[in-house]
Amino acid sequence: MVGIRIIPCLDVKDGKVVKGVHFENLKIAGDPVENAYFYSNEGADEIVFLDISATIEDRKTMIDVVKKVAEVVFIPLTVGGGINSIDDIEKLLTNGADKISINTYAVKNPIIIEEGARRFGSQCIVVAIDAKKIGNGKWEVYIESGKKPTGIDAIEWAKKVEDLGAGEILLTSIDRDGTQDGYDIELTRSVSENVNIPVIASGGAGNLQHLYDAIFYGKADALLIASLLHFRILTIPQIKKYLKERGIEVRI
Amino acid sequence: MVGIIKYGAGNIFSVMACIKKIGWNCYFVEKKEDIEKAEYIILPGVGNFAEGIEFLNRNGLTEKIREKIREGIPFLGICLGLQLLFEFSEEGDREGMNILEGKVVRFKNINFKIPHMGWNQLEIVKKSSLLNGISKNSYFYFAHSYHILPKHNDIIYGITDYGIKFPSLIIKKNIIGVQFHPEKSGENGVRFIKNFLKKKWLE
């Protein structure tokens, strides 16, 4: 049976990883290839690169980053951040990315999901949803790195992106992101149970129990993890061993 | 030289990178004439069945691939590249290359999410030297919503369980087809492609 995926997320700015693995050798700390290679060897099931460059000009370096990583790392690579055209998607996919993740632009121009899925297949179109709790069982979609509310209901939006052809949803709880208080289980479960495409949970992981809860109670199909891994609080082998012992299928 | 068929979108870069890592040269086949210098052909797979077959037909590649396969060239179809070998697909209700008998159907009546996305196990049902060095029930990376239903079970060498057991590795003489992505399956995948390029399974 298909395993639950553990996905490290690396933030990239101007071609360098800014919050990568805390290596003892600082010289390689910002190198995307070294970071990706490290996690791939540790057992990562996929890797997500999030481009946080401020300008379009700087974003162009992302294509080189992906290219270099894809030459040596043979696991799926997803790229997100600043994608706003079919041309952007095509450039990334033909240079080594396996999937692309769209957030703000998908909300502003949902047609890109449909067109992207038709051209390149649903399996490579990931829609990232940043959601903030606004009431009992209600979450609102935010865009522009979680700064701008949209008035759109997160569950309804998740259903819509599935209809448009998205192959996966990368779901981040704005409330939990960076807190280490655990994933928003209710949000994750609500989205996961309302769509029939895989859901990647993100935001709030602080310990092993949180990871288990997101899968068992939140019905997540994959987990996106950043600081917990980068700061070596947990390692991928440690996470997978723990999940396996608790009856969750993982690739070891 | 390994000829990688380039048809529309697809993660051809990864397939190329994987082959280069193994130490082989490769190039992209975009027109039917390009195929001549290939010693091996890989039909990679990401995308949509209807668009894929249209491109191959329009560019005379379907006929050329058929011809090369008949001549006995080692051929590897990956994911959509496997599905395109069959007679018909429910994805767009289209005819395929008609090289193998059977059809391609969408996952039905399963309690799992579609696409089938992630690492799943290859259960070996028939031995082949193509799998040398790959232990049984090894994990490979999958990303698909449709799977093949061959007419003849004797070509099935590996299956995978996703609510139903579907064929994930087929071999028929010089034709190899995999539903998973060896170019994205870490060490197991690299080993698989290495074995393919050793041609030993043909002996």
Taking the domain B2-202, which CATH number applies? 3.40.50.880
Q: Which residue of B has its CA nearest to A194?
A: B113
Task: Read off the tokens for B104.
Answer: 């391609």
- Please state the domain extents for chain A: 5-245
Considering only residues B203 and A175, tell me which one the structure prediction assigns the higher pLDDT.
Answer: A175
Q: How many angstroms separate the CA atoms of A97 and B19, rounded? A: 17
Find residue A136's DSSP bridge partners: none
Task: Name the residue among B9, B47, B190 with its Cβ closest to that of A74.
Answer: B190
The number of helices, as runs of H, and strands, as runs of E, in chain A is 11, 11
Question: Following DSSP, what letter does each residue of B154-190 receive, concatenated?
Answer: GGEEEEEEESEEEEEEEEETTEEEESS-GGGSHHHHH
Give backbone dihedrals phi and psi of B105, rounded to 5 degrees, phi first.
-125, 160
**Residue B181 is among the residues annotated as catalytic for this protein:** yes
- What pLDDT score does A28 carry? 60
Q: Which of A70, A121, A197 sits opposite B46 (nearest CB)?
A: A121
A126, HSE (Cβ side, Cα atoms, 13 Å): 28
User: How many Å apart are CA A50 and CA A54, to the nearest integer?
Assistant: 12
- Residue A100 phi, psi (nearest 5): -125, 150
Residues A102, A103, A107, A111: what is their CA dihedral angle, to the nearest 10 degrees? Answer: 0
Helix (H, G, I), strand (E, B) or coil at A202: strand
Q: Is A74's CB within 8 Å of B47's CB?
A: no
Nearest-Cα residue of chain A relative to residue B164: A1
pLDDT of residue A27: 58
CATH T-level assignment (fold) for domain A5-245: TIM Barrel (3.20.20)
A11, A31, A88, A221: the catalytic one is A11
Does residue A98 have an active-site annotation?
A: no
Dist. CA A21–CA A232, nearest whole Å: 7
Which three-class secondary structure state does DSSP give residue B74? coil
Report chain A's mean pLDDT, rounded to a whole number. Answer: 93
DSSP H or E stretch at residue B177 = strand B175-178
Q: Is A123's CB within 8 Å of B115's CB?
A: yes
CB contact under 8 A, A221 and B113: yes
Angle ∠(B75,B118,A118) on CA atoms, nearest 5: 70
The b-or-e profile of A162-179 (16+ CB within 10 A means b, else e) is: bebbbbbbbbbbbbbbee
SS3 of A127, please? strand
pTM score of the predicted model:
0.95
Chain B CB contacts of A87 under 8 Å are none
C-alpha–C-alpha distance, residues A200 and A142, integer Å: 17
Nearest CA in chain A to B160: A1
Q: A205 pLDDT exceeds 90?
A: yes
Distance of CA A205 to the CA centre of its chain: 13
B18 is catalytic: no
For chain B, 203 residues long, give each residue's pLDDT as a single digit of tens: 999 999 875 678 999 999 999 999 999 999 999 999 999 999 998 778 988 999 999 999 999 999 999 999 999 999 999 999 999 999 999 999 999 999 999 999 888 999 999 999 999 999 999 999 999 899 999 999 999 999 999 999 999 999 999 999 999 999 999 999 999 999 999 999 999 999 888 87
Q: Give which of A4, A64, A123 to mutate to test B binding, by max B Cβ within 10 Å.
A: A123
Angle between helices A185-194 and A208-216 (to 10 degrees): 30
Higher pLDDT, A101 or A1: A101
Residues of A with Cβ-Cβ distance to B190 under 8 angstroms: 74
Write the ipTM: 0.93
Q: Where are the domains of chain B?
A: 2-202
CB pairs under 8 A between A and B: 115
Mutation choice for A interface testing from B14, B162, B168 by most A CBs within 10 A: B14
Contact predicate A229/A23, CB 8 Å: no
At B35-82, the pLDDT tens digits run 999 999 999 987 789 889 999 999 999 999 999 999 999 999 999 999
Please tell me the distance from the alpha carbon of residue A113 to that of residue B90, in angstroms, as a whole number: 22
Cβ atoms B45, B55 nearer than 8 A: no
**Sheet strands side by side (includes B40-43):** B26-29, B2-5, B40-43, B75-78, B175-178, B164-172, B156-162, B116-124, B138-144
